Structure 1
Amino acid sequence: MRRTFATTLSLAALGVSALPSEAAALASHRASYELRLKGQSDELTGADGRIALEVSRPDCKAYKLDYRFVARFQQEQELTVTDQRTTSVESLDGKTFSFETKTFIDSAADNEVRGTATTAGSQTVVALAEPETRQITIPAALFPMQHTGQLIEKAKAGQRIVETAIFDGDEDADKRLTSTAVISARSAPAAAPGAVPAVVEKLKGLGAWRVSESFYNSDSDPDGMPIFETAYTLYENGVSDDLLLVFDGYTFEGDLATLDMLDSPACP
């Protein structure tokens, strides 16, 4: 159970088509989300968590993501704390991706994944350095930032269903992660009950869509059930809010607690 908690959290950092010729530009920002257990769980008596992330543009060639997801799981008399820390750099053209993820359980190091991925033509080549050195070649896949930009572009174009092959830095790249996203009609959502006024003000006037996304790989059930599901409000600048994260055996819901918009370099 402890291992399951740690490995499933990796999918919460994201969202089968040809690679897009261009994707929407994503705003540099720093955000945090407070998570709480939704409904009842047969395995847990309680759970909560926090996501903190920063999307930045160190130069005119790449996005950088710093991401941390800390969660607490209460099972009768046992409390388990998982802590996942990810740093990745993704080129704006969607061709290169470097990643490092460290997972801790109850403050003890549990797993480390580190490597690079390069997409050229119809293939993505993943070169892992940790937990072991190996190379994996898979059909061309989008990287996380490019995937988010693609969803925004498809939403603006009125496309309601988007199927995508994704590589997000998972050590099991050969399992071929794919997602199916269902996008609502464009709307400017009203602030959620209890929304932080300062956060609402920074998103005021932006178009947004409600996105429901299901993720699959070769471990998915034969009956077609996804390994992970999520729903969120996606703003046209790449910021997300009103999260729903459906894992195996429990569900988190969460809201945008803090948001700071950051400067990006002036690029041609």
Structure 2
Amino acid sequence: MRMLAIASFAVLAATSVQAAPAAGAGGLAAHRAVYDLSLKEASERSGISGMVGRMVYEFGGSACEGYTVSFRFVTEISTGEDSRLTDQQTTTFEDIRKGIFRFVTRSFVDQKLDHEVRGSAEVKGDGLSVALERPDKLALDISMAHFPTEHMIELIDKARDGERFYESRIYDGSDAGDKAMITTTILGEKQKAGKNDPEAKRAGELADDAYWPVSMSYFEENAEGDGLPVYSIAFKLYENGVTRDLTMDYGDFVLEGQLAQLDMYEPQPCVEQ
């Protein structure tokens, strides 16, 4: 279940903070989005009979000072005979200009710390230099990959340019923090919300704005042939980067995430030093 939450963070980090240029210097909008989670389907192999939860994603910062993300993913998982409460808390900092990314992820099960991953990565030459502090100290070099905000910028640029399919690599500290992942993305034509779309109203001032339907799949970097993705997600992406109507597929089970609350913050000016 730790991988489930990390996967959800990876997707939101890659899609939830790019905004229209009018949002302020650097084209990034600060906001806080809350999603209600529910189980859409589950196979017998998953052992899951029910799941509910909440996901909170908060973004701030600027191109000059760097970007910060605070993410929390809480689920109550029923297996028929008992239930578990999982709680993942992730914070990240990314400086695109300097090519620096730092992250901390703590995972709790029934309010007890189960796992912690802490580390950083920096662009060095034609690759990334990764330094992990927890759970064990480890230094390694990996091939070049986008950090989450860079990956997100690429996604929005592709959508605006009318590109419909592309592949990329992302490093976001997922799982053990020791590898990047391959992403394939399908971008649909922009469209308006239907009159019978109740979730759109919870997007506030964005309710009548057009969005891109997006589908992303994440693959292990060393996957061979036509291997299945580790996880996939489909969502609606607004021009300012807010996402809603999430469908998260983890293979043995599928979660839905509906936007419950959206708070837009004042943009921070980017003042050149």
- Name the TM-score class by shorter chain: 0.7 to 0.9
In structure 1, the residue matched to 2:255 is 252
The one-letter code sitting in structure 2 at the alignment partner of 1:108 is K
In structure 1, the residue matched to 2:24 is none
Matched, 1:10 2:6: yes
Matched, 1:110 2:114: yes
Matched, 1:236 2:239: yes
Deviation string, structure 1 residues 93-141 (Cα, Å, up to 9, x no partner) = 3711110000001111011011111113420111111111111211111
In structure 2, the residue matched to 1:28 is 30
Q: Take 2:31 and 2:79, find their aligned partners in 1: how far apart are those partners?
A: 35
TM-score normalized with structure 1 length: 0.88
In structure 2, the residue matched to 1:140 is 144
CA RMSD of aligned residues (A): 2.3
Cα shift at 1:203: 1.0
Within 5 Å, which residues of 2 pair with 1:1-268? 5-15=1-11, 25-42=27-44, 43-57=47-61, 60-93=64-97, 95-170=99-174, 172-190=176-194, 193-195=197-199, 197=201, 199-218=202-221, 220=223, 223-268=226-271
- Contact preservation (8 Å) 2:130, 2:178: no
The one-letter code sitting in structure 1 at the alignment partner of 2:69 is L
Structure 1: where are the runs of 5+ without partners? 16-21
Q: Take 1:41 and 1:115, find their aligned partners in 2: how far apart are those partners?
A: 35
- Contact preservation (8 Å) 1:191, 1:200: no
Number of residue pairs matched by the alignment = 257
- Contact preservation (8 Å) 2:210, 2:239: yes
Q: Take 1:69 and 1:177, find their aligned partners in 2: how far apart are those partners?
A: 21
- Contact preservation (8 Å) 1:70, 1:81: yes
- Contact preservation (8 Å) 2:34, 2:54: yes
Cα shift at 1:14: 2.5
In structure 1, the residue matched to 2:14 is none
- Contact preservation (8 Å) 1:23, 1:149: no
- Contact preservation (8 Å) 2:193, 2:207: no
Deviation string, structure 1 residues 219-253 (Cα, Å, up to 9, x no partner) = 75764100111111111211110001111311101
Deviation string, structure 1 residues 140-170 (Cα, Å, up to 9, x no partner) = 1111122112111110001111211101113
